[in-house]
Amino acid sequence: MRALWRRYLNGNPEYLAHYYWWAYLAPFGVWFFSHHLVINSILFGQYRRILDALLRHLHTAPCGRMLQLTCAYGKLTPALAGLTDELHLTDVASIQLKIAGNGLAHQHRSALMARMNAESMAYAASSFDTVVIFFLLHELPPAARQRALSEALRVLKPGGRLLIAEYGIDRNRHPLHRITLLRRAIERLEPFLHDFQQDDLPAQLQSCALKHGKSLQPADEQALFGGYYRVMLFNA
């Protein structure tokens, strides 16, 4: 029998269809996860805090031409659209762009949307003043993550800002990391999370920046929920 996930390939990366079809590609999943209560519960009630921690950096200076690197459920996209006249939103899944467009229209806001793979984007080099990545990286297999980081640095202008909201590093100190059953359940749903949490993200970003002849300085890192989550700001 043909595996169910294969029907969601449809131009999407294999890992996305295989591991995340139920969350990002199947219409029922998209409907289900579009509810604030669901997304907030997945983030252990921290959605607002994470969003505020990210947005506070964007209130300090004009955002200019801004890229939201992939869609995210919740209020992020309308909030970003309210901060700039030129928000670009890209995602590899058309259903995600559609739902994001509906959400923006509902709030009387807009963004320039394009279907692209974060691992290889069609935007010109150094074309964005601000790049925002919200809980994407931990969902990517290591090689895809490396390519997506490289692309984010390629399109970021020298002098621009990169903002990342993500899970914190796992040093097995947080109470949630020590509940074995919960840990196993999360690792099953998020097969690349553990790998991501062992990586040195700032070092990876620095090497991607160097590859594109750019420099990148870590400017701020806020640990949230006892370090289970983090919001990071880098200046190019």
Strands 65-69 and 86-91: parallel
Report the residue number, 24 or 234, with the smaller CB distance to ligand SAM. 24
Which residue, among 185, 201, 183, has the nearest Cα to 136 in the 3D structure?
A: 201
Angle between helices 201-211 and 142-155 (to 10 degrees): 50
Give the integer Cα–Cα distance in Å for 228 and 166: 9
CB 139 → ligand SAM: shortest distance, Å?
Answer: 6
Site for ligand SAM in 156-185 (CB under 6 A): none
Token reading at 80: 């970003």
The backbone region for 122, taken as left when phi is positive above 0, alpha when psi lies in -120 to 50, beta otherwise, is: alpha
71 binds ligand SAM (CB under 6 A): yes
The torsion of the CA quartet 120, 125, 130, 131, rounded to 10 degrees, works out to 10
CB of 136 to ligand SAM, least distance (A): 4
Q: Return the range that interacts with ligand SAM (CB under 6 A); candidates 59-67, 136-144, 198-206, 224-232.
A: 136-144
Report if residue 9 touches ligand SAM, rule: CB under 6 A: no
SS3 26: coil
Sign of the dihedral through C-alpha 102, 107, 112, 116: negative
State which of residues 134, 192, 196, 229 lies at the interface with ligand SAM (CB under 6 A): 134
Does residue 51 interact with ligand SAM by CB under 6 A? no
Can you tell me which of 53, 93, 153, 163 binds ligand SAM, judged by CB under 6 A?
Answer: 93
Q: Are strands 65-69 and 128-134 parallel, antiparallel or unpaired?
A: parallel
Using CB under 6 A, which of 118, 201, 209, 232 touches ligand SAM?
A: 118
Q: Give whichever of 1 and 114 is closer to ligand SAM, judged by the CB atom.
A: 114
Selected from 139, 166, 216, 233, the binder of ligand SAM by CB under 6 A is: 139
Residues that bind ligand SAM (CB under 6 A): 13, 16, 24, 39, 70-74, 91-93, 96, 117-119, 134-136, 139, 144
